[in-house]
Chains A and B, each alone.
Chain A
Amino acid sequence: MTDTNDGWRRWLPGRVLGLLGLLLASGAVASTADHTAFEELQGPFERAEQVTEACLGCHTEASQQVMSTRHWTWEYENPHSGETLGKKSMINTFCISDRSNEGFCQSCHVGYGWEDDTFDFSDESRVDCLACHNTGDYVKKGGWAGYPNAEKTDLVEAARKVGRTSRETCGACHFYGGGGDGVKHGDLDSSLVEANRTLDVHMNAEGPDFACSECHRTESHDVPGSRIQGTAVDTGGALLRGAHEDRNPATCQACHGSSPHEDGSHARRLNEHTRALACQTCHIPTFARGGVPTKMAWDWSTAGQLDDDGQPIQRKDDEGRVIYDSKKGDFVLGENVVPEYLWWNGNTTFVTAETEIDPSERVLINEYHGTPGGEDSRIWPVKRALGKQPYDTVHKTLLRPQVAIPGNDTAFWYNFDWDKALEAGTRIAGQPFSGEYDFVDTAMLWPITHMVAPGEDALKCGQCHSDDGRLAGVEGVWMPGRDRHAGLDRFGFGLAGLVLLGVLGHGTLRFVNRNRRKGH
C-alpha cells in the first residue's frame, strides 16, 4: 500500500503534470466538436435566453444540472447549525447584502433577469450558459440583472465561440466580489489571470497554467470547494482522476496526498506537520501578492460625505487607490498581507439578519470552529476583514440597506440617505426595522487557499518557531522555539549558574593560594 502510494507520488508531480499540460493544450485544439460550425449557433439571437435554448437543444440536461447548484439558487442550508445561508440572504462586511439589490448584484448570477423575488427559478431558458462558457466579448456587469449588455455583446459571436470555463470566466465574478477587483477574498483577484510562478505555482501561465476547474473539478455542473463549509482536513492520499470517490477534489491533498514532502533533510518532519497544519499555512506566506490590493476594513459610517456642490467624492492614497468613496465610506487596503491563523474543522457559522447581536463589542459575522490540537482540525490562514455597518438599535440586528438600485429614490448610492436606504432594504427583505439605527464594528473571516507560492517561498521554520512568531497565541500545539516552561528554565539556568559560581569561586581561591603549592 505504502509502496504504491510512494510510487504514485513520485510519479505524479513530474510526469502527470507534464501529461496534463499536454492534454490541456491539445484539448483546446482537438475538440471533436467545432461549435462555430453549428447551425443552431448562427443566430440571430434577439434575447440571451435564445442562446440558452440553442445550447439545450443538444446539452439537454445542462440547465437542470445548473439549477441544482448554488450558482443558481444562491441558497444553502448550513448542515451544522441549520441557518439558511447562500448569497441570497447572507450578510457580509462589504456590500452588506444582496437582498433588495438584485438588479445590480445579480450580474454574478448564472441566470437572466433575477431582479426581485418574482424571478422564476424553474425557467430553464433563464440559465446563463455563456457566463461560464464564453471565451471573451461577453459583457455582463452590475445593473443589468444578469443580462449581458446588448451593445457590448454580440450574442452570435459569443455563442459560436462557446468554450471551457477559464480563469477569466470564473474570475469575472470570483475576483470581483465585494464590489471590485480583489476586494473581498484577498487570495482571488485579476492578477491570477496572468499569474506568474511567484504568485501561484499552479496557475503560472508559463508553467502548469491551471484553470480554476483543474482543482475545482466539476461534475454535472456542480463545482466542488466551498468556503462556507470547507474541507479543512483531508488525510487521504492523492486522488486518481476518474475515480469517483466521495471526496472534495479541490483540496491540496487530492493531488499531493498527505505526505507531500519527499526531498531534503526536513521532509519527514514537514510531513508530520500536516497533523496540525493546513498546507496553506506555510505555502501561502501572504495574500494579495499580485499587485491588486484587498479591502482589510470598510467603514460604512462615514459614507455620504458630499462636496460643496452636493456631489459625491472620492479620496485616494499616495498610490492613487481609492480609500474614501461617498457611496461606500472609508477603506483600509492591504497588499502582501500576513494572514491570521486559527484552528478550523471546516465548520463555519454565520450571523444572519435574524441573529440578535451585542453591539457593545465587535460583531463576528462568521465564526470558524475547530478544536485546538484536535484530529478533526488544522491551523488555517485566514483574512480578517473589519467592517462598520448599520444595525437596528432596538431589535439589535444587522440591517440590510438598499444601495445600488437607481431610479426609485431609496438606494443609498443615489440619495445618500440612510433612513430611506434602510427602510427600503429591510422592507423588501421582510426584515423588521424599528427606524432607529447606528453603526456597529464587525469582522468577517475568509479562508486563504489560493495564491500558492513556490516551495522556496514557503514560510521558514523560524517564522513560527520563535517568540512572537506567526503562530503566537495559537493553542493546541507544542512548538519548540515558541513554547518553554518558565519554571524549568529558571531551575536549569539557576543550577548551571550556581555551578559556574562555585567553580569560579573555587578557582579564585586556588589562584590566591597558588604560592602555597609552589615547589610541587
Chain B
Amino acid sequence: MSERLYLFTRFERFWHWAQAALIITLLFTGFGIHGVHDLLQFGLAVRIHETAAWLLIGLWVFAIFWHFTTGQWKQYLPTLERIGAVTRYYVHGIFVGAPHPYRVTVAHKHNPLQRLAYLGVKLVINPLIWISGLLYLFWGSLHASLPAFLDLERVARLHTLGAFLMLAFLIMHVYLATAGHTPLTHIKAMITGWEEVHDEAAIKRPPEG
C-alpha cells in the first residue's frame, strides 16, 4: 500500500521550476558568451544572461526569506544518520529491487545525500556564481576598490568554475529525478506537490527461493 504526501507547496514548486528554467537559460547563454557555441549573437546572449541573472537573484532573495520564515531551511541541515544505508542503496540496492532505506516525511523531505548536495549548491556553488557574477557585472565601478590579485581574468575564471559545478549538479540532479519508484514519481511530485510514498515494510513479498 502506499500513501500520498503533500511534499511541495505551491511556492516551492514555482521556485523549483522557475529556478530550473533560469539556470538552464543561464548555462546556455553563459556557455555561448564563453564561446562554447555560437547559437546566439554575443550581445543578445549577454542581455539574456544578465536579465535571467537578475530574475534569479530576485527569486533567490525571495526563497531565502521564505525558508527562514517557514523554518524550511532546516530541511538542509546535514545529517550522517543512515547516510551509509542510503549510499549503499544507490550503489547496489537500487539494481536489485531493495527498498529505499529512507522514509520521506513532510518534516524531512530529503534523504541525507540530497541534503548534502543541496546544501553544497546553496553554500558553495550559488555564492561562488553570484559573487563572481556581480563582480563581473559591476567590474567597471568595483575593480578600483578590490585587491589587486583579483583581476577580471580571475573573476571570470571563478564564474566559469561555478558554471561547470552547476552543470555537473544539473546532470546529476536530472538523472536522480528519474530514480524514484518509477522514473516519473519524483517529477510528478515536483509538478503536483503530491508524492506517492511506498511503505516498503507494508508490502508483501513473495517468499524467496
Q: Is the A/B pair a real complex?
A: yes
Q: Which residues of A are interface residues toward B (Cβ below 8 A)?
A: 265-266, 268-269, 271-272, 275, 460-462, 465-467, 478, 480-485, 488-489, 491-493, 495-496, 499-500, 502-503, 506-507, 509-510, 513, 516-520
Chain A residues within an 8 Å CB radius of B163: 492
Chain B residues within an 8 Å CB radius of A516: 95-97
Whether B96 and A496, one on each chain, are in contact in the complex, defined by CB atoms closer than 8 angstroms, is no
Whether A499 and B160, one on each chain, are in contact in the complex, defined by CB atoms closer than 8 angstroms, is no
When A and B form their complex, which 5 residue pairs have the shortest distance between CB atoms, in order from nearest?
Answer: A492-B164, A272-B140, A462-B42, A503-B175, A461-B43
Per the bound structure, the CA–CA distance linking A168 and B41 in Å amounts to 42
Per the bound structure, the CA–CA distance linking A492 and B171 in Å amounts to 13
Per the bound structure, the CA–CA distance linking A500 and B164 in Å amounts to 13
CB-nearest residue of chain B to A487:
B157
Counting residue pairs across A and B whose Cβ atoms lie within 8 Å, the total is: 100
Per the bound structure, the CA–CA distance linking A518 and B206 in Å amounts to 12
Per the bound structure, the CA–CA distance linking A483 and B155 in Å amounts to 13
Whether A269 and B171, one on each chain, are in contact in the complex, defined by CB atoms closer than 8 angstroms, is no
A-B contacts besides A266-B43, A499-B168, A503-B176, 20 pairs, CB < 8 Å: A268-B140, A275-B140, A460-B41, A460-B43, A462-B41, A466-B38, A478-B152, A481-B35, A482-B35, A483-B153, A488-B157, A488-B161, A503-B172, A510-B94, A510-B95, A510-B179, A513-B95, A519-B206, A520-B97, A520-B181
Chain A residues within an 8 Å CB radius of B181: 520
Contact among B34, B35, B46, B164 for A269, CB-based, below 8 A: B46
Whether A466 and B42, one on each chain, are in contact in the complex, defined by CB atoms closer than 8 angstroms, is yes
A sample of 21 inter-chain contacts (CB < 8 A) reads A265-B47, A265-B50, A266-B46, A268-B140, A271-B140, A460-B41, A460-B42, A461-B46, A462-B38, A465-B33, A465-B42, A466-B35, A478-B152, A478-B156, A481-B34, A484-B34, A492-B161, A496-B168, A503-B175, A518-B97, A519-B206
Chain B residues within an 8 Å CB radius of A461: 41-43, 46
Chain B residues within an 8 Å CB radius of A519: 206
Tell me if B139 counts as interface (CB < 8 A to partner A): yes
CB distance from A501 to the nearest CB of B (A): 10
Per the bound structure, the CA–CA distance linking A480 and B36 in Å amounts to 11
Whether B47 and A266, one on each chain, are in contact in the complex, defined by CB atoms closer than 8 angstroms, is yes
Whether B175 and A506, one on each chain, are in contact in the complex, defined by CB atoms closer than 8 angstroms, is yes
Tell me if B203 counts as interface (CB < 8 A to partner A): yes
Per the bound structure, the CA–CA distance linking A481 and B44 in Å amounts to 13
Whether B96 and A513, one on each chain, are in contact in the complex, defined by CB atoms closer than 8 angstroms, is yes
Tell me if B105 counts as interface (CB < 8 A to partner A): no
Tell me if B167 counts as interface (CB < 8 A to partner A): yes
Chain A residues within an 8 Å CB radius of B96: 513, 516
Chain A residues within an 8 Å CB radius of B46: 266, 269, 461
CB distance from A8 to the nearest CB of B (A): 21
Chain A residues within an 8 Å CB radius of B203: 520
Per the bound structure, the CA–CA distance linking A516 and B94 in Å amounts to 10
Where chain A touches its partner, the secondary structure class is helix
Per the bound structure, the CA–CA distance linking A266 and B44 in Å amounts to 10
Chain B residues within an 8 Å CB radius of A265: 47, 50
Chain A residues within an 8 Å CB radius of B90: 506
CB distance from A129 to the nearest CB of B (A): 49
Whether A495 and B151, one on each chain, are in contact in the complex, defined by CB atoms closer than 8 angstroms, is no
Tell me if B79 counts as interface (CB < 8 A to partner A): no
CB-nearest residue of chain A to B91:
A506
Contact among B156, B165, B198 for A520, CB-based, below 8 A: B198
Chain B residues within an 8 Å CB radius of A483: 153, 156
Tell me if B178 counts as interface (CB < 8 A to partner A): yes
Q: Which residues of B are interface residues toward A (Cβ below 8 A)?
A: 33-35, 38, 41-43, 46-47, 50, 90, 94-97, 99, 139-140, 151-153, 156-157, 160-161, 163-165, 167-168, 171-172, 175-176, 178-179, 181, 198, 200, 203, 206
Chain A residues within an 8 Å CB radius of B153: 478, 483, 485
Whether A517 and B97, one on each chain, are in contact in the complex, defined by CB atoms closer than 8 angstroms, is yes
Per the bound structure, the CA–CA distance linking A441 and B157 in Å amounts to 43
Chain B residues within an 8 Å CB radius of A491: 164
CB distance from B183 to the nearest CB of A (A): 9
Whether B178 and A492, one on each chain, are in contact in the complex, defined by CB atoms closer than 8 angstroms, is no
Chain B residues within an 8 Å CB radius of A503: 171-172, 175-176
Among B42, B47, B179, find the residue whose CB has the most chain A CB atoms closer than 10 A.
B42
A485-B94 contact, Cβ under 8 Å, with A266-B46, A462-B42, A492-B164: no
CB-nearest residue of chain A to B167:
A496
Chain A residues within an 8 Å CB radius of B198: 520
Contact among A271, A272, A485 for B157, CB-based, below 8 A: A485
Whether A462 and B164, one on each chain, are in contact in the complex, defined by CB atoms closer than 8 angstroms, is no
Chain B residues within an 8 Å CB radius of A518: 97
A480-B167 contact, Cβ under 8 Å, with A461-B43, A488-B157: no
Contact among A481, A499, A509, A517 for B171, CB-based, below 8 A: A499
Whether A507 and B151, one on each chain, are in contact in the complex, defined by CB atoms closer than 8 angstroms, is no
CB-nearest residue of chain B to A465:
B42
CB distance from B113 to the nearest CB of A (A): 14
Per the bound structure, the CA–CA distance linking A478 and B158 in Å amounts to 14
Chain A residues within an 8 Å CB radius of B99: 520
Whether A488 and B160, one on each chain, are in contact in the complex, defined by CB atoms closer than 8 angstroms, is yes
Per the bound structure, the CA–CA distance linking A116 and B49 in Å amounts to 66
Among A488, A489, A518, A520, find the residue whose CB has the most chain B CB atoms closer than 10 A.
A520
Chain A residues within an 8 Å CB radius of B41: 460-462
Chain B residues within an 8 Å CB radius of A489: 160
Per the bound structure, the CA–CA distance linking A462 and B139 in Å amounts to 20
Per the bound structure, the CA–CA distance linking A246 and B26 in Å amounts to 48
Per the bound structure, the CA–CA distance linking A21 and B172 in Å amounts to 65
Chain B residues within an 8 Å CB radius of A495: 164-165, 168
Chain B residues within an 8 Å CB radius of A275: 140
Per the bound structure, the CA–CA distance linking A302 and B206 in Å amounts to 99
Per the bound structure, the CA–CA distance linking A268 and B178 in Å amounts to 44
CB distance from B106 to the nearest CB of A (A): 23
Per the bound structure, the CA–CA distance linking A478 and B35 in Å amounts to 13
Per the bound structure, the CA–CA distance linking A467 and B206 in Å amounts to 63
Chain B residues within an 8 Å CB radius of A482: 35
CB-nearest residue of chain A to B99:
A520
Among B90, B172, B181, B203, find the residue whose CB has the most chain A CB atoms closer than 10 A.
B172
Per the bound structure, the CA–CA distance linking A499 and B172 in Å amounts to 7
